[in-house]
């Protein structure tokens, strides 16, 4: 399951101030403490895990703003 | 407008040559590292006094740091995570006579002698405000926050033919440490005041939302985030090119990045927010020389008067 892997990567890379277990799929990760620096680690770990490369057009806060948006982006890149 | 690199490089080289021919810049043999003439330095000094007068009502604390930062402090700024390609690390020789002999032999043989050097305790300062925060670590700010007047040579490893892109240059800053409301208010105030100050000197400046040159693809996320949040504004003006404008000042919010890392707290116990206006002294001088010509005696009377030239 993509979503499970995303949650695991967020646990190791996200450095969130809110416990991941309290976050819904559409919760705002930036409100949960995701910094732009942590986003970089998150992005690189996702690329490694899913063997994808985020294009420049996706390198924004919107892509990494929630678990849902991350899963959507991965699915779009895997198609 | 999208300009080809060739056209821009040509404009850069041409203006650099004009400055060198006029004796204003003394080339060092390394792109972006110059000696400056007395006339050039005189304009910088006059502009600095102008900045001092325009900030005097804030009664800032004045602090001057050397262009060196302890390696430990450097590592706490996240610079290595965000701008590794711009850093400057100071190395020296640590060894005995035999090691020295080898070092000199390598030098004489044209081999890589620098690999034998050892990192020292210091790094070159990448931004004028970086040395300030460690000195304020574990402190609590007064209710009104603190405003600090800084000026330092800063180093950025980005060799370029553009005379305005120096590897080592001076930033004059007013930094504010305060609450989440005080810091952005300082930024907004100085963005406007900075624009007025530079416009009054006849420069065609305009503010633009900008981003720092964060490293790599990950850096693009950071740049996009910085722009979305409108944390950084630059005041841009024409120097070598009228199409590709050059940032001569910038006014930025750092949120609580430094407050958290260095445990600087507001009076009510929150991590301090910081913000700054930074004037690029060499770039402003280059913009003035471009706009008004190489002879300050022939500059418009109102500009000479404002700068007390």
pLDDT exceeds 60 at position A43? yes
Confidence band for B225, pLDDT divided at 50, 70 and 90: confident
Q: B120-179, pLDDT tens digit by residue?
A: 999 999 999 999 999 999 999 999 999 999 999 999 999 999 999 999 999 999 999 999
Category of B15 on φ-ψ map: left (φ > 0), alpha (ψ -120 to 50) or beta: alpha
**CB of B271 less than 8 A from some CB of A:** no
Residue-level pLDDT at B143: 98
Residue A53 banded pLDDT, cuts 50, 70, 90? very high
* DSSP-derived 3-state class of residue B306: helix
> Which residues, 6 or more positions from B78, have their beta carbon under 8 angstroms from its beta carbon?
A37, B257, B261
Domain A2-78: give its CATH architecture. Answer: Orthogonal Bundle (1.10)
Reply yes or no on whether the pLDDT at B228 is more than 90.
Answer: no
Q: Which domain range does residue B68 map to?
A: 5-88+126-306
DSSP, res B235: E
Res. B107: pLDDT tops 90: yes
Do the interacting molecules here have an ipTM over 0.90? no
Provide the pLDDT for residue B255. Answer: 94
Under 8 Å between Cβ of A35 and A61: no
Q: Is residue B45 part of a domain?
A: yes
Nearest CA in chain B to A58: B221
Are A64 and A42 spatial neighbours (Cβ–Cβ below 8 Å)? yes
Q: pLDDT by residue (tens digit) across B166-196?
A: 999 999 999 999 999 999 999 999 999 999 9
Cα B166–B170–B174 angle (5° rounding)? 135
Task: Tell me whether residue B115 is in a domain.
Answer: no
Q: What pLDDT band is residue B239 in, cutting at 50, 70 and 90?
A: very high
pLDDT band of residue B238 (cuts 50, 70, 90) is very high
CATH number of the structural domain spanning residue B70: 3.30.930.10
Question: What mean pLDDT is predicted for residues A67-74?
Answer: 96
Give the per-residue pLDDT at B117: 97
- Report the percent of chain B where pLDDT is more than 90: 93
* Residue B3: pLDDT over 80: no
Distance between A11 CA and the closest CA of chain B, angstroms: 19
Alpha-carbon span B74 to B87, nearest angstrom: 10
User: What is the predicted pLDDT for the residue at B2?
Assistant: 56
Q: Where are chain A's structural domains?
A: 2-78
Q: Encode pLDDT of B248-283 as tens digits.
A: 999 999 999 999 999 999 999 999 999 999 999 999
Say yes or no for a CB contact (<8 Å) between A54 and B225.
no
All residues of chain A having their beta carbon less than 8 Å from the beta carbon of residue B232 are none
Q: In B, which residues are within 8 Å of A41 by CB distance? A: 218
Identify which of B81, B224, B228 has the shortest CB distance to residue A37: B81
pLDDT of residue B141: 98
The b-or-e profile of B199-230 (16+ CB within 10 A means b, else e) is: eebbbebebeebbbebbebbbbbbbbbbeeee
In-domain check, residue B262: yes
Nearest to B128 by CA among B276, B262, B247: B276
Q: Using one digit for the tens of pLDDT, what is the confidence trace for A13-28?
A: 999 999 888 999 999 9
**B20 has pLDDT over 80:** yes
Instruction: Render pLDDT for B62-90 as a digit per residue (tens, 0 to 9).
Output: 999 999 999 999 999 999 999 999 999 99
Whether A59 has its CB under 8 Å from any CB of chain B: the answer is yes
- Model confidence pLDDT, tens digit, residues B26-66: 999 999 999 999 999 999 999 999 999 999 999 999 999 99
Name the average pLDDT for chain B: 96
d(CA B219, CA A39): 10
């Amino acid at each position: 399951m993509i979503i499970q892997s995303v949650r695991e990567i967020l646990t190791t890379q996200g450095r969130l101030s809110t416990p991941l277990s309290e976050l819904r799929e559409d919760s705002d990760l930036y409100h949960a403490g995701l910094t732009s620096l942590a986003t970089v680690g998150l992005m690189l770990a996702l690329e490694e895990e899913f063997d994808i490369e985020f294009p420049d057009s996706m390198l924004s806060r919107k892509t990494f703003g929630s678990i849902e948006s991350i899963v959507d982006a991965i699915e779009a890149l895997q198609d | 407008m999208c300009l080809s690199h060739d056209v821009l490089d040509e404009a850069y080289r041409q203006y650099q040559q004009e400055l060198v021919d006029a004796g204003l810049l003394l080339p060092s043999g390394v792109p972006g590292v110059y000696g400056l003439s007395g006339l050039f330095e005189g304009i910088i000094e006059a502009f600095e006094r102008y900045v001092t007068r325009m900030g005097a009502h804030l009664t800032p604390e004045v602090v001057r740091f050397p262009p060196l930062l302890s390696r430990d402090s450097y590592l706490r700024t996240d610079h290595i995570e965000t701008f590794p390609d711009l850093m400057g690390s100071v190395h020296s020789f640590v060894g005995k006579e035999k090691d020295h002999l080898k070092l000199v032999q390598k030098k004489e043989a044209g081999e890589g002698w620098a690999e034998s050097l050892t990192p020292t305790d210091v790094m070159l300062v990448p931004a004028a405000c970086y040395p300030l925060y460690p000195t304020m670590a574990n402190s609590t700010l007064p209710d009104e926050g603190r405003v600090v007047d800084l000026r330092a040579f800063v180093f950025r490893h980005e060799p370029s033919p553009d005379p305005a892109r120096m590897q080592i240059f001076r930033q004059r800053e007013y930094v504010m440490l305060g609450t989440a409301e005080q810091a952005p208010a300082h930024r907004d105030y100085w963005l406007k005041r900075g624009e007025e100050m530079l416009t009054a000197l006849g420069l065609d400046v305009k503010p633009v939302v900008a981003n720092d040159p964060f490293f790599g693809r990950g850096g693009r996320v950071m740049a996009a985030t910085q722009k979305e949040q409108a944390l950084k504004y630059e005041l841009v003006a024409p120097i070598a090119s009228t199409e590709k404008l050059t940032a001569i000042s910038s006014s930025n919010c750092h949120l609580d990045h430094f407050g958290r890392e260095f445990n600087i707290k507001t009076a009510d116990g929150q991590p301090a927010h910081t913000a700054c206006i930074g004037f690029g002294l060499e770039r402003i001088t280059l913009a003035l020389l471009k706009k008004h010509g190489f002879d300050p005696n022939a500059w418009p009377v109102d500009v000479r008067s404002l700068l007390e030239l």
